Amino acid sequence: MQTPAVKIVILRITFIIGMVELFIMLLLGHLYHDLDSFKQAILDAVLLVVMSTPKIYLWVIRPYVLARDEAVAKITYMAFHDPLTQLANRNLLSQYLEKILPTLDRHQLYGALLMIDLDDFKPINDISGHDVGDSILLEVAIRLQASIRSEDIAGRLGGDEFVVILSLLNADKQAARNEALSIAGRIQAALKEPIEHRETYQLSGSIGIRMLGDEMASIETVLKEADIAMYRAKQAGKGNMVVFE
């Protein structure tokens, strides 16, 4: 069964060939009426190919290829980005970790993974509604992006849980740790700024920090240990940060 797109392609090609062939027949009848039928057929075929091919490409093939490439790019983007915040999703974060962990080991540098969970977000979502909750998550995503360096990556795992991966911090572990804490502090300060949406909302974030570069740990291990540190930060009170030891 032909789809509407296929029918449109067939109709366009048929129209182009029909119009070009009509033009050629009129041209041959007016200018080359004294040619024998064989020569007319050869000339007709050559002119049809030469004149119709560019039109078929511009009007049929090129739009189809552009639409296909756009659809593929959109599907690829959706596969690696959170649909709400447009931040990296778990797939892209895992790919990034797969690349950065060997790089840190090879260059003897340190990085860090920050697991961020919003404090008391659920009551806001439940009481004010999901549209307000989504708006707050969007604002959090913007603030995260503004708080990190251009070489770092921010992502959302789902709900109110976010991840930031800090790459190539420092060759000295303590200095790298201090840089990670500084960026985490900047993130916390940004999250504590009031969010205006119909009314004023005040948030904070609990951050678990897992340093990268000591060993070639698996991605699952890194995420799990950052998650452990984040829960320790939550247990210590709102707006705290804990480095996994």
Catalytic residues: 160
**Angle at the Cα of 167 (from 163 to 169), degrees rounded to 5?**
120
Pair of tokens at residue 127? 């009481």
Q: Is 229:244 a contact under the CB 8 Å cutoff?
A: yes
Rounded CA Rg of the chain: 30
Separation between Cα atoms, residue 131 and residue 160, nearest integer Å: 14
Place of tokens 């990268």: 212
Give, in order, the Cα–Cα distances in Å from 68 to each of 9, 12, 112. 14, 18, 39
Cβ neighbourhood burial of 64 (10 Å; 0-12, 13-18, 19+): middle
Three-state DSSP state, 81: strand
The pair phi, psi for residue 149, each rounded to 5°, is -80, 165
Q: State the first-to-last Cα distance of the chain, in angstroms, to the nearest integer.
A: 62
Q: Is 243:224 a contact under the CB 8 Å cutoff?
A: no
Separation between Cα atoms, residue 136 and residue 191, nearest integer Å: 10
